[in-house]
Homo-oligomer: A and B are copies of this chain.
Amino acid sequence: MREFEADPSHPRYHSLWLRHKLELAQHAGMLANSAMIAHGRGEAFDYLLGEKTTDSARHATKIAAAKLQDATKPIICLNGNTTALAADTMLQIAEHLQCPIEINIFYRTNERMKALINYLSERKEELGLGVEILGDSPDYSIPGLKGPRASCCWNGIGESDVVFVPLEDGDRCEALRKMGKFVIVVDLNPLSRSAQKASLTIIDEITRVGNNLLEFVNSPIELEDYQNELFIEGALSHIARRFL
């Protein structure tokens, strides 16, 4: 694996650093074939957003923090790309919320699950945290989904009331909603089915969301009313301005 050599003053430093983390994760067998393509799609939308957290996304993240704090059984559900890019922050958020993390991937293979759980456990040890990591023994199926993508843990996703599930697939987002859960999605494409179907949609890049969410969960946040369509419209009009 080549070393990461970019200069921190390079305007694309953060973007190159994220790519490097994904390359390491790919090398460690944590990612599906489609992971890099998915990341590229995200890069394009982030470019259109101006590679900054919009006020609207920050507001959505604050509400997400309140919802997670207020939940009876919150769960943080991580796929390959989120684990590769934001494992440390997600572990710290879970520690604050005293909730488990469930590794749950769409293209499930035992090898990938093992690589992801190993990596997350290593990061947890390194940070000295006590977060419970679920995913290696799925004992429940998300109703309405077929095949390995339905598998999950009952004491994780299964009995949760609020699910924080970044970079989620549209079908699964819909299936989780149908189970009556409050589904918080992070997605860079405001037009994606997950973005449209979630209970709360954060249109922002996952490492920025992680940092903001960690800041918010540090202190108690009051729940407030919101309209999710406004978060989506906020992102759409922000992007549209780039093209006009």
Residues in chain A within 8 A of chain B (CB atoms): 19, 23, 33-34, 36-45, 47, 189-191, 236-237, 239-240, 242-244
How many protomers of this protein does the assembly include?
Answer: 2
A-B contact pairs, 23 of them (CB 8 A): A19-B33, A19-B34, A19-B37, A23-B33, A36-B36, A37-B39, A39-B40, A40-B41, A40-B42, A40-B44, A41-B41, A41-B43, A41-B44, A42-B44, A44-B44, A44-B45, A44-B189, A47-B191, A190-B243, A191-B242, A237-B244, A239-B243, A240-B240
Please name all residues of chain B whose beta carbon is closer than 8 Å to the beta carbon of A36 when the two chains form the complex.
36-37, 40
Q: Complex formed: what's the CA distance from A13 to B244 in Å?
A: 32
In the complex, chain B residues whose CB is within 8 Å of the CB of A239: 243
Main secondary structure of the interface of A (DSSP, over half): helix
A169 smallest CB distance to B (angstroms):
13
| Residue in A40, A43, A45, A242 whose Cβ sees the most chain B Cβ within 10 Å | A40
